[in-house]
Chain A
Amino acid sequence: EVQLLESGGDLVQPGGSLRLSCTGTGFTFVKYVMTWVRHSPGKGLEWVAAISGSGDNKNYADSVKGRFTISRDNSRKTLYLQMNSLRVDDTAVYFCAKSRALVPDGPTELDYWGQGALVTVSS
Protein backbone atom coordinates (compact mmCIF):
# COMPACT_ATOMS: atom_id res chain seq x y z
CA GLU A 1 0.00 0.00 0.00
CA VAL A 2 1.33 3.39 -1.03
CA GLN A 3 1.65 5.82 1.85
CA LEU A 4 3.00 9.36 2.04
CA LEU A 5 3.59 10.94 5.43
CA GLU A 6 4.44 14.61 5.79
CA SER A 7 5.96 16.27 8.82
CA GLY A 8 7.45 19.60 9.81
CA GLY A 9 4.46 21.90 9.64
CA ASP A 10 4.49 24.69 12.23
CA LEU A 11 3.76 28.32 13.08
CA VAL A 12 6.55 30.61 11.87
CA GLN A 13 7.03 34.36 11.73
CA PRO A 14 7.22 36.26 8.44
CA GLY A 15 10.75 36.09 7.08
CA GLY A 16 11.40 32.82 8.86
CA SER A 17 12.30 29.36 7.54
CA LEU A 18 10.85 25.89 7.78
CA ARG A 19 11.61 22.48 6.29
CA LEU A 20 8.90 19.97 5.41
CA SER A 21 9.57 16.27 4.98
CA CYS A 22 7.58 13.54 3.26
CA THR A 23 8.40 9.84 3.55
CA GLY A 24 7.06 7.50 0.89
CA THR A 25 6.49 3.77 1.33
CA GLY A 26 4.83 1.01 -0.66
CA PHE A 27 6.40 1.98 -4.00
CA THR A 28 9.84 2.30 -5.59
CA PHE A 29 10.48 5.87 -4.46
CA VAL A 30 13.45 6.57 -6.73
CA LYS A 31 11.46 5.88 -9.90
CA TYR A 32 8.88 8.64 -9.51
CA VAL A 33 8.71 12.39 -9.89
CA MET A 34 7.54 13.82 -6.57
CA THR A 35 5.58 17.03 -6.10
CA TRP A 36 4.55 19.56 -3.45
CA VAL A 37 1.09 21.13 -3.75
CA ARG A 38 -0.44 23.56 -1.28
CA HIS A 39 -4.03 24.38 -0.42
CA SER A 40 -5.39 27.50 1.18
CA PRO A 41 -9.10 28.30 1.48
CA GLY A 42 -8.84 31.48 -0.51
CA LYS A 43 -6.70 30.12 -3.33
CA GLY A 44 -7.62 26.47 -3.84
CA LEU A 45 -4.90 24.08 -4.94
CA GLU A 46 -1.57 25.56 -6.01
CA TRP A 47 1.28 23.51 -7.47
CA VAL A 48 4.51 24.47 -5.69
CA ALA A 49 7.44 22.37 -6.95
CA ALA A 50 8.43 19.04 -8.43
CA ILE A 51 11.61 16.97 -8.59
CA SER A 52 12.70 14.14 -10.87
CA GLY A 53 13.41 10.68 -9.53
CA SER A 54 17.15 11.22 -9.67
CA GLY A 55 16.86 14.64 -8.08
CA ASP A 56 18.67 16.28 -11.00
CA ASN A 57 15.71 18.22 -12.38
CA LYS A 58 13.61 20.61 -10.34
CA ASN A 59 10.76 22.90 -11.27
CA TYR A 60 9.11 25.66 -9.22
CA ALA A 61 6.07 27.90 -9.29
CA ASP A 62 6.96 31.55 -9.84
CA SER A 63 5.44 32.40 -6.47
CA VAL A 64 8.11 30.40 -4.60
CA LYS A 65 11.08 30.51 -6.97
CA GLY A 66 14.22 31.70 -5.21
CA ARG A 67 12.70 31.16 -1.76
CA PHE A 68 11.81 27.44 -1.69
CA THR A 69 14.04 24.47 -2.51
CA ILE A 70 12.81 20.97 -3.26
CA SER A 71 15.12 18.02 -2.70
CA ARG A 72 15.04 14.30 -2.04
CA ASP A 73 17.06 11.58 -0.35
CA ASN A 74 16.27 8.37 -2.18
CA SER A 75 18.17 6.25 0.34
CA ARG A 76 15.73 7.48 2.99
CA LYS A 77 12.72 7.55 0.60
CA THR A 78 12.15 11.11 1.72
CA LEU A 79 11.15 14.29 -0.08
CA TYR A 80 11.91 17.72 1.35
CA LEU A 81 10.76 21.29 0.91
CA GLN A 82 13.02 23.97 2.39
CA MET A 83 11.05 27.17 2.73
CA ASN A 84 12.92 30.44 3.36
CA SER A 85 11.79 34.07 3.50
CA LEU A 86 8.30 32.93 4.36
CA ARG A 87 5.41 35.32 3.77
CA VAL A 88 1.91 35.49 5.22
CA ASP A 89 0.49 34.32 1.90
CA ASP A 90 2.53 31.11 2.12
CA THR A 91 0.12 30.00 4.86
CA ALA A 92 -1.45 26.75 3.65
CA VAL A 93 -1.69 23.01 4.05
CA TYR A 94 1.22 21.51 2.11
CA PHE A 95 0.73 18.13 0.47
CA CYS A 96 3.35 15.88 -1.04
CA ALA A 97 2.14 13.79 -3.96
CA LYS A 98 3.41 10.98 -6.15
CA SER A 99 3.26 10.97 -9.93
CA ARG A 100 1.06 8.28 -11.40
CA ALA A 101 3.05 7.79 -14.57
CA LEU A 102 6.63 6.55 -14.79
CA VAL A 103 8.30 9.42 -16.62
CA PRO A 104 11.90 10.49 -16.03
CA ASP A 105 11.26 14.11 -15.21
CA GLY A 106 8.16 15.41 -16.99
CA PRO A 107 4.92 16.67 -15.44
CA THR A 108 2.23 14.09 -14.74
CA GLU A 109 -0.98 13.58 -12.86
CA LEU A 110 -0.76 12.82 -9.12
CA ASP A 111 -2.24 9.57 -7.85
CA TYR A 112 -1.29 9.43 -4.17
CA TRP A 113 -1.24 12.27 -1.70
CA GLY A 114 -0.13 12.66 1.89
CA GLN A 115 -2.42 13.90 4.63
CA GLY A 116 -0.92 17.39 4.55
CA ALA A 117 1.23 19.56 6.82
CA LEU A 118 -0.11 22.90 8.07
CA VAL A 119 2.23 25.85 7.69
CA THR A 120 1.07 29.08 9.32
CA VAL A 121 3.04 32.25 8.72
CA SER A 122 2.04 34.93 11.20
CA SER A 123 3.53 37.39 13.64
Chain B
Amino acid sequence: EIVMTQSPATLSVSPGERATLSCRASQSVKYNLAWYQQKLGQAPRLLIHGVFSRATGVPARFTGSGSETEFTLTISSLQPEDSAVYYCQHYNSWPVTFGQGTKLEIK
Protein backbone atom coordinates (compact mmCIF):
# COMPACT_ATOMS: atom_id res chain seq x y z
CA GLU B 1 0.00 0.00 0.00
CA ILE B 2 1.26 3.46 -0.92
CA VAL B 3 1.28 5.83 2.05
CA MET B 4 0.47 9.49 1.37
CA THR B 5 1.87 12.01 3.86
CA GLN B 6 0.69 15.62 3.89
CA SER B 7 2.29 18.63 5.52
CA PRO B 8 1.70 20.76 7.40
CA ALA B 9 -1.23 19.42 9.39
CA THR B 10 -2.58 22.94 9.87
CA LEU B 11 -1.83 26.13 7.99
CA SER B 12 -2.99 29.63 8.89
CA VAL B 13 -2.70 32.28 6.17
CA SER B 14 -4.09 35.78 5.68
CA PRO B 15 -6.57 36.66 2.93
CA GLY B 16 -4.87 37.63 -0.29
CA GLU B 17 -1.71 35.68 0.51
CA ARG B 18 -0.55 32.36 -0.90
CA ALA B 19 -0.80 28.91 0.70
CA THR B 20 1.48 26.00 -0.18
CA LEU B 21 0.38 22.47 0.76
CA SER B 22 2.64 19.44 0.35
CA CYS B 23 1.97 15.76 -0.28
CA ARG B 24 4.54 12.98 -0.39
CA ALA B 25 4.04 9.42 -1.64
CA SER B 26 5.97 6.48 -0.17
CA GLN B 27 6.72 5.31 -3.73
CA SER B 28 6.23 6.74 -7.20
CA VAL B 29 2.63 7.37 -8.27
CA LYS B 30 3.77 8.90 -11.58
CA TYR B 31 1.17 11.58 -12.41
CA ASN B 32 -1.79 9.77 -10.83
CA LEU B 33 -2.41 12.33 -8.10
CA ALA B 34 -5.52 14.32 -7.21
CA TRP B 35 -6.38 17.03 -4.68
CA TYR B 36 -9.74 17.48 -2.95
CA GLN B 37 -11.24 20.24 -0.84
CA GLN B 38 -13.64 19.34 1.97
CA LYS B 39 -15.55 21.97 3.87
CA LEU B 40 -17.20 21.24 7.19
CA GLY B 41 -20.29 19.08 6.79
CA GLN B 42 -19.87 18.73 3.03
CA ALA B 43 -18.72 16.09 0.59
CA PRO B 44 -15.21 16.40 -0.83
CA ARG B 45 -14.82 18.37 -4.05
CA LEU B 46 -12.31 17.41 -6.73
CA LEU B 47 -9.91 20.30 -7.36
CA ILE B 48 -6.97 18.85 -9.30
CA HIS B 49 -6.39 15.58 -11.18
CA GLY B 50 -3.37 14.28 -13.05
CA VAL B 51 -1.18 16.50 -10.81
CA PHE B 52 -1.80 19.64 -12.87
CA SER B 53 -5.32 19.63 -14.36
CA ARG B 54 -8.01 21.71 -12.70
CA ALA B 55 -11.44 20.10 -12.46
CA THR B 56 -14.42 21.80 -14.05
CA GLY B 57 -15.25 25.11 -12.41
CA VAL B 58 -12.15 25.30 -10.20
CA PRO B 59 -10.63 28.81 -10.14
CA ALA B 60 -7.22 29.36 -11.73
CA ARG B 61 -5.72 30.37 -8.38
CA PHE B 62 -5.59 26.64 -7.51
CA THR B 63 -2.41 25.16 -9.03
CA GLY B 64 -1.00 21.65 -8.77
CA SER B 65 2.59 20.62 -9.41
CA GLY B 66 5.09 17.83 -8.84
CA SER B 67 5.71 14.27 -10.00
CA GLU B 68 6.63 10.76 -8.84
CA THR B 69 6.64 11.20 -5.05
CA GLU B 70 6.55 14.93 -4.30
CA PHE B 71 3.50 17.09 -4.97
CA THR B 72 2.30 20.59 -4.14
CA LEU B 73 -1.03 22.39 -4.16
CA THR B 74 -0.65 26.16 -4.30
CA ILE B 75 -3.57 28.45 -3.62
CA SER B 76 -2.86 32.06 -4.52
CA SER B 77 -4.84 35.15 -3.51
CA LEU B 78 -6.55 33.31 -0.66
CA GLN B 79 -10.25 33.96 -0.16
CA PRO B 80 -12.26 33.38 3.05
CA GLU B 81 -14.18 30.58 1.30
CA ASP B 82 -10.92 28.63 0.84
CA SER B 83 -11.04 27.65 4.51
CA ALA B 84 -11.29 23.84 4.40
CA VAL B 85 -9.39 20.59 4.77
CA TYR B 86 -7.39 19.60 1.69
CA TYR B 87 -6.57 15.98 0.84
CA CYS B 88 -4.27 14.46 -1.72
CA GLN B 89 -5.09 11.05 -3.19
CA HIS B 90 -3.09 8.71 -5.40
CA TYR B 91 -4.78 6.48 -7.96
CA ASN B 92 -1.75 4.75 -9.39
CA SER B 93 -2.72 1.29 -8.15
CA TRP B 94 -5.06 -0.53 -5.79
CA PRO B 95 -5.60 0.26 -3.01
CA VAL B 96 -6.18 3.96 -3.58
CA THR B 97 -5.10 5.99 -0.53
CA PHE B 98 -5.59 9.50 0.76
CA GLY B 99 -3.28 11.69 2.77
CA GLN B 100 -4.36 12.61 6.29
CA GLY B 101 -5.29 16.15 5.22
CA THR B 102 -4.11 19.72 5.73
CA LYS B 103 -6.47 22.08 7.51
CA LEU B 104 -6.26 25.54 5.97
CA GLU B 105 -7.39 28.41 8.15
CA ILE B 106 -7.87 31.92 6.82
CA LYS B 107 -6.83 34.47 9.44
Contact = CB atoms under 8 A, between A and B. Distances in A.
Interface of A: 35, 37, 39, 44-47, 50, 59-62, 95, 100, 106-111, 113-116
Q: Choose among B46, B94, B97 the residue with the greatest number of A CB atoms under 10 Å from its CB.
A: B94
A5 to B, nearest CB: 12
Interface of B: 1, 32, 34, 36, 38, 43-46, 49-50, 55-56, 85, 87, 89, 91-101
Nearest to B47: A109
Contacts of A61: 95
B45 to A, nearest CB: 8
A109 B91 contact: yes
A111 B96 contact: no
A4 B2 CA distance: 28
Contacts of A47: 89, 95-98
Contacts of B94: 50, 59, 107
Contact of A44 (B50, B87, B96): B87
A44 to B, nearest CB: 5
A113 B87 contact: no
Given A60-B95, A111-B46, 10 more contacts: A45-B36, A50-B96, A100-B49, A109-B49, A110-B36, A110-B46, A111-B49, A111-B55, A113-B43, A114-B43
Nearest to A103: B91
Given A47-B96, A100-B49, A95 B87 contact: no
